[in-house]
């Protein structure tokens, strides 16, 4: 049997294959796709040291336009290998080909181009301060790189979320050590090839593969030379990373878990709302932090809405990534599928009415070795049920009726999370009124997951710390100081 392809580390401008290896398994059919090198503590330390040294090298003297030109070259490199990146993302996640082609890749390219251009366009504050003695103070802002940034990404949108951090971090002159999820190492390995070919100076971009606790992830967050951690993943992982960096008082930017609500009022455009909630509940097989897992529908249309959403869910086609008309890929792994299936069982124990789904599909072929589940809808659970409060991160939602604004606002806000909310109503006065009172970082009105990269992105409560996007990213990835000159 031929040896599986090996995904190397990339440290100080060199690809490294030495080290322990871990398997990369297809969630479509369970076959071995490749192996990745698991970086040990020494390799992570060397990557961090290389990043620290690179700050003092040529990269430290690059201007914003020179960094931007290089990042556009990286974007060009991704574009030139578009199909390779699509293949890598689809292999690791099992998502439909059209999803990788229309979301993951265009966003990875946009993440580099947008922040390259924003960094060049960025202007900073200054002010004059008249003094009682007739003198004048002139204050101006100086923006420097933070230093070495640890970038740790999850598996649900592997390349999109890695580059969402890499773009601004590099545009602002930092150096980075990246650790993609152990579930989805392939597209990051390709990115290292593109970075290398684009001529990123050695040590500016470093890639280590591995796991979290006791592996590359933890070694990276505990490295003394890192200045900041930009992390996307589970809330409890965020808490662990906070502990790891607390003694060093490092900067952190966290995009964490969610238990997002959709609120559908009786006056909403019914078909648009049904389509929108179906998309927000089952997009990427429910594996997006912004996905809807709680649906509240105004009572007069509740029964009709449940029936319509059921029909939408049952019309979704699970299948191979390259199958015509496929809507749903598998979950990212059998392990994650077992977690989602445990909530399917819990829902029954908690007394849910299973409107549709709640089991795995039977294909009668290799896909039965994959990690597929059916899209699932529940009703009938109380708000305190675990399935209504805990993030499941699969193609599942619970629908409950409500009678008035104050009631639904209280119920939507009764969550330890605060990431996103979608409001479906044609009464925009009501939408604006509620949007200000929902305790989340991102509100969509008659839309979902429509993105402008200049807007603040992030969550409240257990859903995150800080905001990235637009100037928020430029600020996070900068060390800002004020200079005051007496004239
Ligand atoms: N808010 C957002 O924008 C957003 C986006 C995507 C995913 N998420 C969340 O991420 C979760 C799913 O992703 P996941 O399962 O990969 O999350 P995870 O927290 O298990 O892992 C995320 C990354 O952190 C690493 N990691 C784990 N423990 C670590 C530790 N102790 N120290 C350092 N690194 C560690 C992992 O190896 C992986 O690379 C869900 O909760 C989802 O809501 C949030
Ligand atoms: O799963 C979470 C998705 C996060 C998406 C973004 O950070 C983005 O679209 O910029």
Nearest CA owner, ligand 1 atom 30: 212
Residue 233: pLDDT over 90? yes
Which of 106, 111, 161 to mutate for ligand 2's pocket (most ligand atoms within 8 Å of CB)?
161
Q: Please, which pLDDT band fits residue 2 given cuts at 50, 70 and 90?
A: confident
The residue-averaged pLDDT of 16-43 equals 98
Which residue from 234, 254, 339 has its CB within 8 A of the most atoms of ligand 1, so it is best to mutate? 234
**How confident is the model at residue 441, as a pLDDT?**
98
What is the C-alpha R_g of the chain?
Answer: 23
Residue 1 has pLDDT above 70, yes or no: no
Smallest CA separation from ligand 1 atom 2, residue: 255
3-state secondary structure of 25: strand
At residue 337, φ and ψ (nearest 5 deg) are -60, -40
| C-alpha separations of 156 from 184, 219, 316, 476 in Å | 8, 23, 20, 23
pLDDT, one tens digit per residue, over 52-91 is 999 999 999 999 999 999 999 999 999 999 999 999 999 9
Atom 28, ligand 1: residue with shortest CA distance: 212
Q: What is the mean pLDDT of residues 419-423?
A: 98
Cα torsion angle, 254, 180, 156, 352, sign = negative
Distance 237 CA to ligand 1 centre (A): 6
Three-class DSSP category at 194: helix
**Rounded distance between C-alpha atoms, residue 188 and residue 208, angstroms:** 9
How are beta strands 136-145 and 478-486 bridged, if at all? antiparallel
pLDDT higher than 80, residue 7: yes
Mean local confidence (pLDDT), 452-456: 98
Residue 388 has pLDDT above 70, yes or no: yes
Whether the full predicted model's pTM is greater than 0.95, yes or no, is yes
So what's the ipTM on this one? 0.95
Mean pLDDT, all residues of the chain: 98
Averaged pLDDT for residues 142-148: 98
Rounded mean pLDDT, 97-105: 98
Over residues 152-168, the mean pLDDT reads 98
| Domains of the chain listed by start with CATH number | 5-256+463-486 (3.40.605.10), 260-452 (3.40.309.10)
By alpha-carbon position, which residue is closest to atom 6 of ligand 2?
161
Res. 5: pLDDT tops 90:
yes
pLDDT digit string (tens) for 272-314? 999 999 999 999 999 999 999 999 999 999 999 999 999 999 9
Any ligand 2 atom below 6 A from CB of 157: yes
Mean of pLDDT values over 314-334:
97
Q: Is the pLDDT of residue 390 over 70?
A: yes
Q: Which residues does 361 contact at the CB level (< 8 Å), separation at least 6?
A: 318, 372, 373, 374
Q: Which residues line ligand 1 (CB under 6 A)?
A: 152-156, 161, 179, 181-182, 211-213, 217-218, 221, 232-234, 237, 240-241, 255-258, 289, 391, 393, 419, 459, 463-464
Between CA 200 and CA 259 the distance in angstroms is: 39
């Amino acid at each position: 049997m031929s040896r599986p392809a090996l995904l190397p580390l990339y440290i100080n401008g060199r690809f490294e294959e030495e080290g322990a290896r871990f398997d990369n398994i297809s969630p479509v059919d369970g076959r071995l796709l490749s192996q990745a090198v698991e970086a040990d503590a020494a390799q992570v330390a060397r990557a961090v040291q290389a990043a620290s040294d690179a700050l003092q090298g040529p990269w430290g003297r690059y201007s914003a336009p020179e960094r931007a030109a290089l990042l556009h070259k990286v974007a060009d490199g991704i574009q030139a290998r578009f199909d390779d990146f699509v293949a890598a993302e689809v292999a690791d996640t099992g998502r439909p080909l059209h999803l990788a082609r229309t979301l993951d890749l265009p966003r990875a390219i946009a993440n580099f181009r947008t922040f390259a251009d924003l960094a060049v366009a960025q202007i900073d504050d200054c002010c004059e301060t008249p003094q009682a003695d007739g003198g004048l103070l002139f204050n101006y802002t100086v923006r420097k790189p933070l230093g070495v940034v640890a970038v740790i990404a999850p598996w649900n949108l592997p390349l999109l979320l890695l580059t969402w951090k890499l773009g601004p971090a590099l545009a602002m002159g930092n150096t980075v050590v990246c650790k993609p999820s152990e579930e989805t190492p392939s597209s990051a390995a390709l990115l290292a090839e593109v970075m290398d070919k684009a001529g990123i100076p050695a040590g500016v971009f470093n890639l280590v593969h591995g796991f979290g606790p006791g592996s590359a992830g933890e070694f990276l967050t505990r490295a003394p030379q890192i200045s900041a951690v930009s992390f996307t993943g589970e809330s409890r992982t965020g808490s662990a990373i906070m502990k790891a960096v607390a003694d060093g008082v490092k900067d952190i930017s966290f995009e964490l878990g969610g238990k997002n609500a959709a609120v559908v009022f009786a006056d909403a455009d019914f078909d648009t709302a049904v389509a929108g909630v179906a998309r927000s509940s089952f997009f990427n097989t429910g594996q997006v932090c912004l996905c809807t897992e709680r649906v509240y529908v105004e009572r007069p249309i509740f029964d009709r809405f449940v029936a319509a959403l059921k029909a939408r869910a049952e019309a979704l086609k699970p299948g191979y990534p390259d199958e015509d008309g496929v809507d749903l890929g598998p979950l990212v792994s059998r392990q994650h599928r077992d977690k989602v299936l445990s909530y399917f069982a819990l829902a029954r124990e908690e007394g849910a009415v299973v409107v549709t789904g709640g089991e795995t599909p039977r294909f009668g072929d290799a896909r039965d070795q994959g990690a597929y589940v059916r899209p699932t809808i529940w009703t009938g659970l109380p708000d305190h049920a675990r399935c209504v409060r805990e993030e499941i991160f699969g193609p599942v939602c619970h629908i409950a009726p409500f009678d008035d604004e104050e009631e639904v606002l209280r119920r939507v806000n009764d969550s330890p999370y605060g990431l996103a909310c979608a409001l479906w109503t044609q009464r925009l006065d009501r939408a604006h009124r509620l949007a200000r009172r929902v305790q989340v970082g991102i509100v969509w009105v008659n839309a979902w997951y429509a993105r402008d990269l200049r807007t603040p992105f992030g969550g409240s409560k257990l859903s995150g710390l800080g905001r990235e996007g637009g100037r928020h990213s430029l600020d996070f990835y900068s060390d800002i100081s004020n200079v005051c000159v007496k004239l």
